[in-house]
Every structure is written in structure tokens, then in C-alpha cells.
Amino acid sequence: MPPRILIIGQGLAGTALAWCLWERGVPFVIVDRQEALTCSKVAAGLITPITGMRLTVSWRYALFYREALSFYRRCGRKLQQRFFFPRGYVRLLKNEAEIAKWNKRRADPDLQPFLHPQPPTLNAEVIHEPANGFQQRHAAWLDTTRYLQASREFFVSLGAWMQGDVQPADVRDDATGVEWQGQRFSHVIWAQGWTAEKHPLFSWVPFQSARGTILTVEADLQGEQRILNRGCWLLPRPDGTLRVGSTYEWKFDDPNTPASAPLQQLEANLHSLSKAPATVTDVQTAVRPIIKNQQALMGTHPAHPRVAFLNGLGSKGSLRSPWLARHLIEHLLEGAALDPELDLQRNGI
């Protein structure tokens, strides 16, 4: 049958898939539960090259960043909105051990494209120890809330978006296609985030998801607009509020209620970064979809070639979803080979 794709989930992955299909002129229907708190809606949308305790370049950053930059700008032009913002990013070092580590790492050739030649200049009246750090280039921020909402409204205008809670048993597949609610599709793509661990066809995928909390804060940083990081990250937004994050909780019951200890530690980290008095105005918690030992996985089920999967983007969904979505669509529609490191059938067990 002609290509017509059913997408389950309108998070960052599902939204990127839908845009890739729209750009190709391939019909699709995207179905989403429209929950208030999901990983994609809570996500800060930070896109940063040098990350983590080891101060290394994020996996395949240059490749993913080029695609994301072009993708979000195209979407913004179509929607006549701006939700992708290149930003300066300042990484401040926490202690003498981290300073020593950075002094060894800073000459690494892999880091040079992303290092700003000038040291950061920060206001000592609002930032603790402002000289101990470095600036990064090619960082950005995606306003995930605006991007997801504007995309949904566009898909609704196309008659290609529906609200619903699709259960695995609701979708039937055979050799020629997929059926859902009496409609036929060439493929279904499950892009539901961490809840995919309960999907009977994908229960073998080793999910190791983590609950995370982000704060919305009011504080006067005296005009500072760069993203700051020491122990936590701090994102100034155009509306004058700040977002601060984030926690990682590997064991949890309620996906949207944080434990008190990580929350208290996050607030303590904020105060160790910023001297400005801060008022917490909102607390948002959701679960990042993480697959053990994998950057992400995509592809089709080994016994159900019409049933596809894109998941495990963790905290990198804003950065990686455009590239991953395009490659999965090329695989489904053109038979293009999947990247061996991201192929569900090679790495999912």
C-alpha cells in the first residue's frame, strides 16, 4: 500500500517524525495522550557540546547539531515562530579536582571547535566564583513547550493529529500494513518515551529510565542571558524567568512527584551557583526515556516489520531527534540501512 504512517506519541521524537513526513509529502496521523507533564514538555531543551563530569564532547555532536539547527529553523519559518535560540554557554568548575581535570582536557583537539577563545566574564555580584570556567560555542536552547504546541496546532490544521491513548492491542499488523480504528497504514511508529518498557513487543529492550525535576525560578541575574552550569544548569528565558535543573532518580514509583532529597540538593546547587535571591515558582517532574548502554535505538521489530520504534533519547531529545527521525523515515520508506550503533535489532537486547 502507499506510505501512510501512524505515529504514537507527540513528544520530541514523534514531532520530528511527523515533520520529516510532512516535508516529504507523506501522509501521517499522530496520536498523543496530551498529558500535562511528559519528558518532552518538561525538558529544558538545552543543546550543549561539552558535557558531563568527564568534560567531553557530546556523542556525534557536530553531526546532530547541524541537522537540528537546519531542522528547527525550517519549522520556525513554516510556523512563523521562533523557538530555537543559539546561546552562549558557560561551564563553571566546581572544585580543585575539576579545575585540574579541565587543565588536562582543554588542549584536546576534539574540544577546540566548541571552545570560545575568550574566558567568561561574569558579574561577581550575582555569580559565585565567576572566573573558574570556560565558554562554549555552538550551544543553543529549544523552547520545547512552544515548539511542541505550535507543531501540534499545525498538525491539527492538517487533520493529522488526534488525542487518544493507544494501547498495543488496538493496533494490528500483517504482511501488508497496519490497522487502527478501521484505518490502514503502511507502518506504525511507537515513540512514547519511557512507557514503551510496558509495550509487549518491546519489553525486551533494556530501559533504564530516570525521573528528573526542573525548577522555574524568579531571580535577578542583572541581564545575564547565557546558560550557566556549576553543579546544576541555569537557563534565563525571554520572559524573565529562569529554569534550573536537573535531578536524576533511577528508582521511582510516581513519575511526576520528586523525592525530597534530590529536590533539596538541586536548590542547594542553585544557591552555590548564584548569589541572587531566588524564588521557586514551579516544580516539574517527568521521566527521561533511557536505554541501558545506548544513545538511542530505532528500527523495526524483528518479527513485525511494519512496527517501528524510536526511543531512548534521554536528555538529548532536542539535539538528536531531527537526525534520528530523518534516518528512521529513510529506512522505512527507502530501505536505507540503519546506523549499526542505533539499530534496534542489533542492540536492543
Q: Where are the alpha helices (DSSP H) in 246-316?
A: 260-273
5-42+146-206+292-347 sits in which CATH class?
alpha beta
Res 53: pLDDT: 86
Res 290: pLDDT: 96
Res 348: pLDDT: 64
Query: 19, 325 in Cβ contact below 8 A?
Result: yes
Res 216: pLDDT: 96
pTM: 0.96
Count of CA atoms in the C-beta half-sphere (13 A) of 124: 3
Distance between alpha carbon 123 and the CA centroid of its chain, in Å?
30
DSSP class per residue in 172-214 = EE-SS-EEETTEEESEEEE--GGGGGG-TTSTTS-B--EEEEE
Going from N- to C-terminal start, the domains of the chain cover 5-42+146-206+292-347, 46-142+210-288
Res 1: pLDDT: 67
C-alpha cell at 250: 533511577
Distance separating alpha carbons of residues 174 and 262, to the nearest angstrom: 46
46-142+210-288 fold: D-Amino Acid Oxidase; Chain A, domain 2 (3.30.9)
As averages over each run of 10 residues, the pLDDT of the chain (349 residues) reads: 92 98 98 91 94 92 97 97 95 91 92 93 92 93 96 98 96 96 97 94 95 95 94 93 94 92 95 94 96 96 96 96 98 96 86
Distance separating alpha carbons of residues 214 and 249, to the nearest angstrom: 12
Q: Beta strand 183-185 with 84-92: parallel, antiparallel or unpaired?
A: unpaired
